[in-house]
Structure 1
Amino acid sequence: MGLFQPDTDIFRHRDVLREDYQPEEIIGRDEELQQYISALQPVINGDQPANIFLYGKAGVGKTACTRYLLSELKEDAAEFNIDLTTIRTNCEDLSTSYQVAIQLINELRDPDDQLKPTGYPQRQVNEWLWEELDSIGGTIIIVFDEVDHINDDSILYQIPRARANGNLENSKVGIIGISNDFKFRESLSSKVQSSLCEKELQFPAYNANELRDILRQRADLAFYDDVVPHGVIAKCAAFGAKDAGDARQSLDLLMEAGDVAVEQNADQVTVEHVDEARSSLERSRIVDGVAGLTQQGHLVLYALLMLHEEGSTPIRARDVQDRYEIVCDRAAVDPLVPRRMRDHLGELAMLGIVSRTERNKGEAGGRYYEYELDTNPDLLLEALDKTVDMVGVTDAIQKRLDQSV
């Protein structure tokens, strides 16, 4: 018998739990789907598509609903002889309108006719983009996932107005922008807000009941019968609801719990497997997050860890700065100015390593943020220990942290 054998006890179709799986039915988003359908209605009428902006935290169904409805829309458009093309671009690694335009052109061109990432005048790139879009004809919907990564918003203004400005004759183009950043809309210029945010849809966090329904739907397909009891579903849903109402987190937890059950040759997934899976995922998240920090990010985190061990958190950024400068001195590294140090605190908050709470003391105290650890300190120390040599943090700092000075 070989080393590898098909799993016949736990997983039936493990991929059903993955992020890229598209369910046949969307659960817990009836109201949002109805609003979304209304926003897409002009396409079936043969009219210029509306520009739609979706926002909400990660894992609340924005991308899943978009994939689902665009698939349905394409089928219905064909029935009514509507020529519809959809293009999806993830902007995670794209920071400028120039980069977005290059990627769109390359997605529309043959593999042997691709543009280089740089080296062309902006005007020329725009002209190539209009040529490619107009050669398609009919109605085109471009989905910009993680649109908030684009630092300049010129393309978000130009594409919706391309037909009105005479850049397109044969095509009617609409944009769907998807963002996890609730404040991204506020950062857009007023002219872009009026075009990109023609129709706005907010996706709230899932509650525990909705997460249970989503998990049960997937579990029935992903696992063999009677492998995942109700208590496991409830526990995975509870963790997701507590953290952020994030279906992705709950599904990852359920999949990891299944993996633990497989490793232990169990007949069922148990709540104990969920606990083990949660610890494993938390450790991986922290290690990956800490590994991705810069040298200065590590030093800011060390400073906050010290303050946590001393019981000095939650704490304002200006007070973190004092300890951070001590850490930099011990590490023989020049400290950053307060504004740049705050940027690193913000990155730690974005990674979920640190929590950031806004305080408002009125006219006397003003508004400010307080920071504190939102992660198991032991796991953070374990992750940081692997970076000590790389960032040049001295043993003296580690000793001071251990002693909780």
Structure 2
Amino acid sequence: MPLFDRDTTIFQDEDVLREDYQPESIQEREEELDAYKTALQPVVNGAQPRNIFLYGKTGVGKTVATRYLLDHLQRDVAEYDDVDLSIVWLNCNNLTSSYQVAAHLVNELRGPNEQISTTGYPQQTIFDMLYDELDSLGETVLIVLDEIDHIGDDDDLLYELPRARANGYLSQGKPGIIGISNDFSFRSGLSPKVKDTLCEEEIHFSPYVANELESILQQRAQNALHEDVLAAGVLPLCAALAAQDTGSARQALDLLYKAGDLARSQDVEGVEEKHVREAQRALERGRIKQGMVDLTQHGHLSLVAVLSLALEEETPARVREIYPRYRSAAEYVGTNPLVRRRMHDHLSDLAMQGILSRNTRNEGRAGGKYYVYDLDVAVDMVLDVIEDLETVDLPPDVLRHTP
């Protein structure tokens, strides 16, 4: 008897439920796709591409819609002799400055034997290298910056690159930026001059509702699972749970995948609602931990500030108590701290993700209303995440209180 054998009861092609799967069609995003196609039309016409900014929560279709449309765009423009198109895709996770983004773009555009160091050059030198690479292509270049909010408030490149042709840095290349952000507050924090260039076309991807998620799940389940393995209520339950929480297709698909995996591990022939409930509990623990990992650098620093107070049993704490800890942590890692209002936005985001708890206090006329924050997850989990990060170190005042 073999130790491993093919799965013949639950999954037919489980890759269909994975995050990197690209469906042949995009469901429940007709309006967004229409707006997106209109924004990309100048590329087909051989004109200067527009700069496009997509925003919405994780898992609502921004990236999958971008890959879908750009795949079609690249095939369709090949029919025209007067249009040459290159697409450069860069995930900005762990890139915290315009300098780092520009350096990585240079390396994306260069061959493996021409790579540059991502440190040690003056910023303008890196920008000039990028302009040279774009101009040498002599064609339309769409630069997709996924998770663009990770660069924080260092947005020089987002101003300079869209204007490079007008300012004489490019004579042949025609670049356009597609910025994708999960952070609603990132746009509001951009300088007005960057908004005018980067946000030329804005498309908002709202959270899915339950019936939309169920439609997406039905499409995927047909190819991912064997016939008749799902109990009647499984897909509606996955859709309802995801809609009530984040409105994320990714969450709904993860619930279905995990539920199927649990059924497989239990050696049963079908997936039932109880498996979805078990999957929800398991994924929630993992989701919160991954949510902490995926924060921007300033999100991590805001979390460190609350962690330091929690270790001293000084929480729940007000923003005015958290901000000095955040500022110290930012200075410790050598980055410029955000103003208090922007740091508060990160605290709000942490509360929305279930990493922090946020409660309102009311001290009447004397003190008014204000928020207090505390960790809403185990201290050990936060410490594990922070200690594994490359971009954030624990300051001495936090280490001193580490268990």
| TM-score higher than 0.5 | yes
Gaps of 5+ in 1: 308-314, 325-338, 396-405
SS in 2 for 1:233: helix
Q: State which of 264, 281, 284 in structure 2 corresponds to 1:282.
A: 284
What is the 5 A alignment of 1:222-261? 222-261=224-263
1:39-97 deviation line (CA, Å, top 9, x unaligned): 11111111100000111111111111111111111111111232111111111111111
**Which residue does 1:36 correspond to in 2?**
36
Cα 1:250–1:300 change in 2 (3 A) is: farther
SS in 1 for 2:283: helix
Cα 1:299–1:123 change in 2 (3 A) is: closer
- 1:392 to partner: Cα distance: 7.3
SS in 2 for 1:79: coil
Tell which structure's C-alpha radius of gyration is larger: 1
Q: Does 1:94 align with 2:64?
A: no
- Conserved in 1, the CA contact under 8 Å of 2:311 and 2:401? no
**Which residue does 1:143 correspond to in 2?**
144
**Which residue does 2:48 correspond to in 1?**
48
Quick one: distance in 1 between partners of 2:364 and 2:177? 41
- 1:140 to partner: Cα distance: 0.7
1:234-267 deviation line (CA, Å, top 9, x unaligned): 1111111011101111111111111101101111
TM-score norm. by structure 1 comes to 0.80
Quick one: distance in 2 between partners of 1:291 and 1:138? 37
**Which residue does 1:335 correspond to in 2?**
none
**Which residue does 2:119 correspond to in 1?**
118
1:199-226 deviation line (CA, Å, top 9, x unaligned): 0111111000001011111111111111
What is the 5 A alignment of 1:85-234? 85-151=86-152, 152-234=154-236
**Which residue does 1:312 correspond to in 2?**
none
1:148-176 deviation line (CA, Å, top 9, x unaligned): 11131111111111111111111111000
**Which residue does 1:21 correspond to in 2?**
21
Quick one: distance in 2 between partners of 1:208 and 1:236? 9
**Which residue does 1:69 correspond to in 2?**
69
Cα 1:105–1:382 change in 2 (3 A) is: closer
Cα 1:364–1:157 change in 2 (3 A) is: farther
**Which residue does 2:85 correspond to in 1?**
84
Cα 1:172–1:382 change in 2 (3 A) is: closer
Cα 1:35–1:299 change in 2 (3 A) is: same
- Conserved in 1, the CA contact under 8 Å of 2:306 and 2:375? no
Instruction: Name the aligned partner's letter for residue 263 of structure 1.
Output: S
Q: Cα RMSD between the aligned structures?
A: 3.4
Q: Does 1:263 align with 2:268?
A: no
- Conserved in 1, the CA contact under 8 Å of 2:141 and 2:174? yes
- 1:188 to partner: Cα distance: 1.1
- 1:345 to partner: Cα distance: 5.0
Cα 1:358–1:105 change in 2 (3 A) is: farther
Instruction: Name the aligned partner's letter for residue 192 of structure 1.
Output: V
What is the 5 A alignment of 1:353-372? 353-356=355-358, 368-371=370-373
Cα 1:286–1:139 change in 2 (3 A) is: closer
SS in 2 for 1:133: helix
Gaps of 5+ in 2: 295-299, 326-339, 386-397
Instruction: Name the aligned partner's letter for residue 193 of structure 1.
Output: K
Q: State which of 269, 272, 276 in structure 1 corresponds to 2:274.
A: 272
**Which residue does 2:58 correspond to in 1?**
58
Cα 1:196–1:344 change in 2 (3 A) is: closer
